[in-house]
């Protein structure tokens, strides 16, 4: 069966806060999972008017495997190709901590201003099991940190839990607005 947006799990599903396992052998089955992750991300994007499906970790389709897919071009929705990172590991974090907006396919409509390192060096295996290394800065560095967090069971909201001013809500018109931290975030049983 084809993997689609409904296969993406969301909080309060507690699987999202579990650590994923290392992929041992990269075979057809693993590649099918990866193809499904990409299909689900694009299907999700096609259902959302104001958002781009930037990346996905396997746990988000409820498979606890250390696999991440990241869009090749965030700014161009027409480019529907992805890079694949199997067993991704942060080798080095560099630069300053910078705050910027993040959302997550597994947290509906809540956005946050999350501090992330400016630059990151990552190693992983590609779709065919070949070792790869990548250095990223700017938004891509942020995406790597967000996705590798997913493989460890960490959600972006966990980094800003106690910071009322860091949370925002996506409005129907696509703009982000402030929300009531106490009611919408702190006491929101879906999130914690």
So which residues are the catalytic ones? 147
CB of 103 to Zn ion, least distance (A): 8
Of 127 and 144, CB closest to Zn ion = 144
Using CB under 5 A as the binding rule, the residues of this chain from 131 to 170 that contact Zn ion are none
Tokens 């910027």: give the residue: 100
CB of 179 to Zn ion, least distance (A): 19
Of 15 and 129, CB closest to Zn ion = 15
Stretch that binds Zn ion, among 74-82, 103-111, 161-169, 177-185 (CB under 5 A): 103-111
The correct pick among 104, 110, 120, 185 for binding Zn ion (CB under 5 A) is 104
- Please say whether the beta carbons of 175 and 101 come within 8 A: no
Q: Which of 66, 83, 70 is CA-nearest to residue 152? A: 66
CA gap 170, 162 in Å, rounded: 20
Task: With H, G, I as helix, E, B as strand and everything else as coil, classify residue 120.
Answer: strand
Question: 131 vs 110, 124, 188, 192, CA distance in Å?
Answer: 35, 6, 41, 36
Tell me the residue nearest to Zn ion as measured from the CB: 104
Q: Which residues make up the interface to Zn ion (CB under 5 A)?
A: 104
């Amino acid at each position: 069966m084809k993997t689609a947006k409904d296969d993406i799990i969301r909080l309060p599903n507690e699987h999202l806060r579990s650590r994923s396992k290392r992929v041992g052998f990269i075979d057809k089955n693993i590649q099918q999972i990866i193809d499904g992750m990409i299909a689900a991300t694009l299907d999700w994007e096609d259902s959302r008017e104001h958002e781009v499906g930037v990346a996905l970790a396997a746990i988000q389709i409820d498979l606890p495997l250390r696999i991440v897919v990241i869009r090749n071009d965030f700014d161009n929705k027409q480019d529907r190709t992805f890079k694949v990172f199997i067993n991704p590991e942060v080798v080095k974090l560099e630069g300053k901590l910078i705050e910027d907006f993040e959302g997550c396919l597994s947290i509906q409509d809540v956005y946050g201003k999350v501090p992330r390192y400016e630059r990151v060096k990552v190693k992983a295996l590609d779709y065919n099991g070949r070792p790869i290394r990548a250095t990223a800065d700017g938004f891509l560095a942020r995406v790597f940190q967000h996705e590798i967090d997913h493989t460890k069971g960490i959600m972006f909201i966990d980094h800003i839990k106690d910071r009322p001013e860091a949370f925002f809500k996506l409005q129907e018109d696509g703009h982000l607005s402030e929300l009531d931290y106490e009611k919408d975030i702190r006491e929101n049983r879906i999130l914690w």
